[in-house]
């Protein structure tokens, strides 16, 4: 019995009632479903017209060539030849693919070399331009134009930065020339520190024990009271404050008068820093921007740059020892390294492990190490040259509100909700903890004086400790009045030689503490 369609013995034979033809069941059913007629006669045909035929299991005969040994050898030879031809074709395709890949890799390597050379030339040109700008004073008309155009990163991105995949900005990076500059600065400062002696003009412990409040200045608006950050010019007797009212104030301590009110931020000013180089002044804000200001001869400050590299609140600004660069830290979990003169973000460093953002930042006195505090109660230590995280300090409770390096470079003080911890940077361990306040009162600020002899802590009150070594006791030599009734202290800063101390609080007052004999000077 042979199937009328395939011409072979069917496995499941069926017969048509109408034509009497024999079919393979699966073949004729498919044809009937598609066309509804007999594949041979063309008559109308349905499934009901097909009758299954019961037969014994069909055993297909072997092909003729398989009936003898020579025939089998011939079949094997044919299959072997086909296998060899297929193998040869695959080898040819592999060889061609290797040649194409080798050519593509060569082109990629050449392109990378060209790009690297062009980037080096660009970095060298930018460095020369920056050095030229530092030596050429900026005309007042240019400063006004800069203030009008705002030097926003949106415009500068189109000129100085390229966009990579996903729209991310490609930063120029910290060039070899800048790393050399940072390294040379580190070598000089480290050498000076080895020969460093406590200056004879430093206020002694007996003087700090007699410190009292000399004056209080309500600098910011009453509608949104509160001072969040304080800084003191290293060579002038002027103080800067950043407030909740979105303004930064530059204040003359000697005359007790406001020199300049810096407006422009749309939200609270979280951090302020003086830069002696060309009288620059940097402010960070909760409006996600950083502003670089430059002082003029009339005492006012003009906005040189508005930097918009962060995507969340800027919490801290810290200036490098060269006074040519600064770093900003933000709640977007990144910190940015900027060239001060050009306002260019050279690199933006994020934490690959995730996190909730940075709340504080400070440079080590030598300038090659950066410390950052996080919302997750963690302190991270970074190598500035490689932008790599080289150490982590944990143990705090709550966000790290402030960090401060001692002048000798050995100690790091960090403040958080649970108080202040002192870390030995040589052994990377916590060797002392201060818990000055109760569990409901966080420590908001901590600051070593410039000589590294005293440490100030601010929260519901202000406390000053005498700096000792790892094994010796750090004695509290002075506790200033409790501010909890008038507004908690948010920031504290020592003046030159610890001759006085400034405190910012949430009642918008800038308080100045010093020897009672200096009260007349403060009036």
* pLDDT at residue 133, rounded to an integer: 64
* Paired residues of 14 in beta bridges: 23, 52
* Bridge partners of residue 301, in order along the sequence: 295
Show the CA angle centred on residue 329, arms to residues 326 and 335, nearest 5°: 80
Given a cut of 60, whether residue 248 has pLDDT beyond it is yes
Quote the pTM value.
0.68
CA within 13 Å, CB half, 395: 17
Q: What share of the chain is helix, strand, coil (3-state, %, to 5)?
A: 25, 35, 40
CA–CA separation, 122 and 119 (whole Å): 5
Spell out the CATH class of 205-514. Answer: mainly beta
Per-residue pLDDT reduced to its tens digit, 79-118? 888 888 889 889 999 999 999 999 999 999 899 999 988 9
CA distance 452 to 262: 31
**What pLDDT sits at residue 178?**
92
User: Rounded to whole angstroms, how far apart are CA atoms 160 and 154?
Assistant: 10
Is residue 159 predicted with pLDDT exceeding 90? Answer: no
HEC profile for 392-433? EECCCCCCCCEEEECCCCCEEEEEECCEEEEEECCCCEEEEE
- Overall average pLDDT of the 67-84 stretch: 84
pLDDT of residue 487: 62
| CATH placement of domain 13-56 | 3.30.40.10
Cα(221)–Cα(241) distance, rounded to whole angstroms?
Answer: 12
Query: pLDDT at residue 423 above 80?
Result: yes
CA-CA distance, 15 to 18, in Å (whole number)?
Answer: 9
Tens of pLDDT along 308-336?
A: 999 999 999 999 999 999 999 999 999 99
Mean pLDDT of the region 230-252: 92
Q: For the ranges 51-60, 240-249, 251-260, which has the lowest average pLDDT? A: 51-60
Under 8 Å between Cβ of 400 and 416: yes
- Going across the sheet that includes 419-424, the strands are 402-405, 411-416, 419-424, 429-434
**Number of Cβ atoms within 10 Å of the Cβ of 387:** 16
Report the distance separating Cα 303 and Cα 299, nearest Å: 13
Q: How many CB atoms lie within 10 A of CB 361?
A: 26
Q: Considering only 48-57, 229-238, 396-405, which range has the smallest mean pLDDT?
A: 48-57
Confidence of residue 135 (pLDDT cuts 50, 70, 90): low
How many Cβ atoms are within 10 Å of 312's Cβ, its own excluded? 15
Token reading at 458: 């601010």
DSSP 49: G
Distance of CA 16 to the CA centre of its chain: 79
Closest CA to 381 of 355, 401, 366, 362: 362
Task: Assess whether pLDDT exceeds 90 at residue 470.
Answer: no
Confidence of residue 138 (pLDDT cuts 50, 70, 90): very low
SS3 string, 330-399, reads ECCCEEEEEECCCCCEEEEEECCCCCCCEEEEEECCCCCEEEEEECCCCEEEEECCCCEEEEEECCCCCC
User: Locate tokens 């700008």: which residue?
Assistant: 133
Tokens of 238: 């002027």
Q: How confident is the model at residue 299 (pLDDT cuts 50, 70, 90)?
A: confident
Euclidean distance between CA atoms 277 and 319, whole angstroms: 11
- 351 has a pLDDT exceeding 50: yes
- Tell me the domain boundaries of the chain: 13-56, 205-514
pLDDT surpassing 50 at residue 141: no
Residue whose structure tokens are 């070598």: 187
pLDDT band at 136 (very low <50, low <70, confident <90, very high): low
């Amino acid at each position: 019995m042979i199937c009328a369609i395939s011409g072979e013995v069917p496995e499941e034979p069926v017969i048509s009632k109408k034509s009497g033809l024999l079919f393979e069941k699966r073949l004729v059913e498919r044809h009937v479903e598609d066309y509804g007629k007999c594949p041979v006669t063309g008559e109308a045909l349905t499934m009901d017209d097909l009758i299954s035929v019961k037969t014994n299991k069909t055993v297909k005969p072997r092909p003729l060539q398989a009936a003898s040994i020579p025939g089998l050898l011939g079949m094997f030879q044919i299959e072997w030849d086909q296998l060899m031809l297929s193998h040869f074709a695959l080898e040819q395709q592999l060889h061609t693919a290797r040649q194409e890949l080798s050519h593509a890799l060569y082109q990629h390597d050449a392109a990378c070399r060209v790009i690297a050379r062009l980037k080096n030339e660009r970095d060298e040109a930018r460095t020369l331009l920056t050095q030229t700008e530092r030596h050429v004073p900026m005309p007042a008309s240019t400063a006004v134009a800069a203030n009008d155009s705002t030097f926003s990163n949106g415009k500068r991105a189109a000129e100085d930065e390229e966009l990579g995949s996903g729209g991310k900005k490609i930063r120029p990076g910290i060039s070899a020339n800048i790393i050399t500059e940072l390294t040379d600065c580190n070598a000089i400062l480290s050498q000076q520190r080895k020969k460093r002696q406590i200056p004879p003009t430093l206020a002694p412990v007996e003087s700090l024990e007699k410190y009292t409040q000399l004056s209080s200045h309500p600098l910011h608006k009453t509608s949104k009271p509160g001072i969040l950050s304080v800084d003191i010019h290293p060579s002038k007797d002027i103080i800067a404050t950043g407030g909740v009212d979105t303004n930064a104030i530059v204040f003359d301590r000697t005359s007790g008068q406001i020199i300049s009110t810096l407006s422009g931020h749309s939200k609270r000013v979280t951090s302020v820093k003086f830069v002696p180089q060309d009288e620059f002044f940097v402010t960070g804000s909760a409006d996600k921007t950083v502003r670089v200001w430059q002082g003029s001869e009339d005492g006012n400050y003009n906005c040189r740059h508005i930097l918009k590299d962060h995507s969340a609140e800027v919490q801290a600004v810290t200036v490098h020892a060269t006074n040519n660069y600064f770093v900003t830290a933000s709640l977007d979990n990144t910190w940015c390294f900027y060239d001060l003169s050009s306002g260019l973000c050279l690199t933006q460093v994020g934490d690959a492990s995730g996190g909730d953002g940075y709340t504080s930042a400070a440079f080590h006195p030598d300038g090659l190490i950066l410390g950052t505090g996080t919302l997750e109660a963690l302190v991270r230590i970074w190598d500035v040259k490689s932008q790599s995280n080289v150490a982590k300090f944990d143990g705090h409770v709550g966000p790290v509100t402030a960090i401060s390096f001692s002048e000798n470079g050995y100690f790091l003080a960090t403040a958080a909700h649970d108080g202040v911890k002192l870390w030995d940077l040589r052994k990377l361990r916590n060797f002392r903890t201060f818990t000055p306040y109760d569990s409901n009162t966080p420590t908001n600020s901590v600051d070593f004086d410039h000589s590294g002899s005293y440490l100030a802590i601010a929260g519901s009150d202000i406390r000053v400790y005498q700096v000792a070594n790892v094994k010796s006791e750090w004695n509290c030599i002075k506790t200033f009045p409790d501010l909890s009734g008038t507004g908690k202290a948010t920031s504290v800063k020592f003046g030159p030689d610890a001759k006085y101390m400034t405190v910012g609080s949430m009642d918008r007052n800038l308080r100045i503490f010093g020897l009672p004999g200096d009260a007349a000077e403060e009036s």
